[in-house]
């Protein structure tokens, strides 16, 4: 039987999520990849235990994580039941609905029908009475935003979720969603955008909305699908995400220009005593509007490397200027 480390809260910083009472770890674990039925159960079980032992209290899922869809929730539920049940009240567990999950007109997007049904299925898969955060995973252009927000309000009032969140919403959509939720009496706790040194759309207004409305931010894909690691310093290695044509990262994205940027950033990271990945995570956390950064992990060692980013979150003005110059 797993027994958590007694020192698990010693090194991880916890940051307030917007204007709520909730603290999140600076590093959270995302179960997007590596936790499905196609993966090795005992390996990702070790990763989850190690994450908790190192102060990661927040585990982020979605209905479609796997593969196959739903399997990450099933596996996480099994680990919860067999090993982590005692620690449920020390954990923040989130899930989402918004992408295609089942056939027919009610298994996708943002209707109340889909969101509520999906959360019921997620709770069943994980063996939970409630999740801590339930997200609308993406805005739906064909469903009134009021309906989607009313569904989030409903599941919170029913006790199926403690907090409501949104993901992939633009600045204007976030402002509107936040207004509606506030009027309903269930404020928007958190927004989960894709954000990294190479993907900076959130800086065009979204971060300002989060600050104005007291909403927390949690960045996903902080390493740009692996581009912001030492993996691509010498081109595209065999077995990497870019080498697999069916992945999210395509070969065409790893241009000579990108590799030059990665090399220049890596030089700054080395001077800071960090790996490039660690600096990329720290760079996101320098902004107080980012409550937490979601990392993935395929091994305990990789997870440790990412968590160790918190050892140096300070940037000198000259470092930031140099980074900005490279990224331009």
95-131: pLDDT as tens digits: 999 999 999 999 999 999 999 999 999 999 999 999 9
3-state secondary structure of 215: coil
Which range, of 134-143, 216-225, 242-251, averages the lowest pLDDT?
Answer: 242-251
Range list of β-strands (E), the chain: 14-16, 23-25, 27-30, 58-60, 92-97, 131-136, 161-167, 188-192, 216-219, 292-295
Tell whether the model's pLDDT for residue 245 goes beyond 90. no
Topology adopted by domain 14-223+279-314: TIM Barrel (3.20.20)
Confidence at 79, pLDDT banded by 50, 70, 90: very high
143-189: pLDDT as tens digits: 999 999 999 999 999 999 999 999 999 999 999 999 999 999 999 99
Tell whether the model's pLDDT for residue 248 goes beyond 70. no
292-309: pLDDT as tens digits: 999 999 999 999 999 999
List Cα–Cα distances, 304 to 27, 50, 245, in angstroms: 11, 9, 28
pLDDT at 131: 99
Instruction: Give dist(CA 257, CA 259) in Å, integer.
Output: 5
pLDDT at 96: 99
Sequence ranges of the domains in the chain: 14-223+279-314
13-33: pLDDT as tens digits: 999 999 999 999 999 999 999
Q: What is the mean pLDDT of the chain?
A: 95
């Amino acid at each position: 039987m797993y027994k958590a480390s007694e020192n698990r809260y010693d090194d991880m910083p916890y940051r307030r999520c917007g204007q709520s009472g909730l603290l999140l770890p600076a590093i959270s674990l995302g179960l997007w990849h590596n936790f499905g039925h196609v993966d090795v159960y005992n390996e990702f079980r070790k990763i989850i235990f190690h994450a908790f032992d190192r102060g990661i209290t927040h585990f982020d899922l979605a209905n479609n994580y796997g593969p196959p869809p739903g399997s990450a929730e099933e596996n996480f539920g099994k680990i919860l039941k067999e090993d982590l049940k005692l620690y449920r009240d020390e954990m923040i567990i989130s899930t989402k609905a918004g992408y295609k999950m089942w056939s027919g007109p009610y298994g996708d997007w943002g209707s109340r029908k889909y969101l509520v049904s999906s959360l019921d299925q997620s709770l069943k898969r994980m063996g939970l009475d409630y999740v801590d955060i339930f997200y609308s995973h993406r805005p739906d252009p064909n469903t009134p935003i009021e309906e989607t927000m009313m569904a989030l309000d409903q599941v919170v009032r029913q006790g199926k979720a403690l907090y409501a969140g949104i993901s992939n919403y633009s600045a204007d959509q976030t402002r509107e969603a936040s207004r509606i939720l506030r009027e309903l009496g269930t404020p928007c706790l958190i927004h989960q955008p894709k954000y990294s040194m190479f993907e900076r759309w959130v800086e065009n207004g979204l971060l300002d909305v989060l600050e104005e409305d007291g909403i927390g931010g949690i960045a996903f894909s902080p390493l740009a699908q692996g581009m912001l690691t030492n993996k691509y310093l010498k081109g595209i290695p065999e077995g990497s995400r870019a080498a697999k044509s069916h992945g999210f990262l395509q070969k065409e994205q790893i241009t000579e220009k990108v590799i030059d940027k990665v090399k220049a950033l890596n030089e700054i990271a080395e001077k800071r005593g960090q790996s490039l990945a660690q600096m990329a995570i720290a760079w996101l956390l320098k902004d107080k509007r980012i409550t937490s950064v979601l990392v993935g992990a395929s091994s305990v060692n990789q997870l440790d490397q990412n968590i160790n980013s918190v050892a140096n979150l300070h940037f000198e003005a000259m470092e930031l200027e140099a980074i900005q110059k490279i990224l331009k």
